[in-house]
Amino acid sequence: PGSAWQVMCLIHAFASTILDRVFLLARGLDGFRVSTRGVEELRRQLDRGRGVLLLGAHVGSFEVLRVLAAGRPECKLKLVMDKSKTPALTALLEALAPELADSVIDTGRGGTDIVLALSEAAREGAMITLLGDRGRPHEVMREVPFLGAPAPFPAAPWQIAALLEVPVVLCLGMYRGGNRYDLVFETLAEEVELPRADRNIALDAYIRHYAARLEHHLREAPCNWFNFYDFWQPQCIAEMQHAEYAAVQHARAS
């Protein structure tokens, strides 16, 4: 467990990024210092013209990417999120920047609508962004090493990338204190292949690589970790196994 000072630093960093979201959407990048790493790699993937899946996490601030993209019309950004999770905050942020609401693909919509929206975004060569460190209820999870212990991660981002045939790029908006952010891009997979015979083995390999890179950046800046619950709890793993079993049974029935 962390010390009281470390806990205080973590809470302060989290509160700072929440407050910064308001200023970022109200005033853009004015007053902020944002450095970037790996932009050339991202451009290389986008130049292929088939879209990119930007995979983030509950780390630092993803709002920096949204605002940065909003200032560049040629960069089409689609954010996959569940608006019902934080309705009050979502309403506030959309009131500050109504134009950003159009960039959201709401996972609370029907499954068919989501698939169609994702397919359209990929055809347009957009950057499709979602967070890959938390699963939804009844979602298939895979268990991989993370910060010293096995932890469950959702399989959905990789299944989406395989379906859309797009590369996967890690994207993290690391908070560096004060008004400073570091936007990091790293290619995780040029393409995602999930062969039927070895599907779980392939999924585990992709997710393990994502978790390892996420761990690398968190060890450099641990106060950017904003999952405020027992990320490694056995209950999560049990639910993961139950969801996987249910998915297998459904596949067999169909």
DSSP assignment of 166-182 equals: --EEEEEEEE-STTEEE
Q: Which residue has the tokens 């879209």?
A: 51
Q: Which residue has the tokens 């920047």?
A: 97
Please classify residue 178 by burial: count the beta carbons closer than 10 Å to its beta carbon, then call 0-12 exposed, 13-18 middle and 19+ buried: exposed
C-alpha span between 71 and 34 (Å, rounded): 13
| Contact predicate 23/31, CB 8 Å | yes
Q: What is the 3-state secondary structure (H, E, C) of 78-122?
A: EEEECCCCCHHHHHHHHHHCHHHHCCEEECCCCHHHHHHHHHHHH
In this prediction, residue 63 carries a pLDDT of 86
The dihedral built from the CA positions of residue 148, 212, 205 and 183, taken in this order, carries a sign that is positive
| Contact predicate 203/142, CB 8 Å | yes
Q: Which of 9, 27, 20, 103 is nearest to 61 (CA)?
A: 20
Residue 218: which residues within 8 A CB-CB, separation 6 or more?
Answer: 59, 147, 224, 225
In this prediction, residue 185 carries a pLDDT of 96
C-alpha span between 126 and 58 (Å, rounded): 22
**Domain count within the chain:** 1
In this structure, what is the dihedral angle of CA atoms 30, 36, 40, 43, given to the nearest 10 degrees? -50
**Continuous H helices in the chain:** 4-27, 39-46, 63-70, 87-96, 98-101, 111-123, 156-164, 199-220, 234-253
Owning domain of residue 202: 4-253
- Nearest-5° Cα angle at 225, 204 to 66: 90
In this prediction, residue 130 carries a pLDDT of 93
All residue ranges of the chain with pLDDT < 50 are none
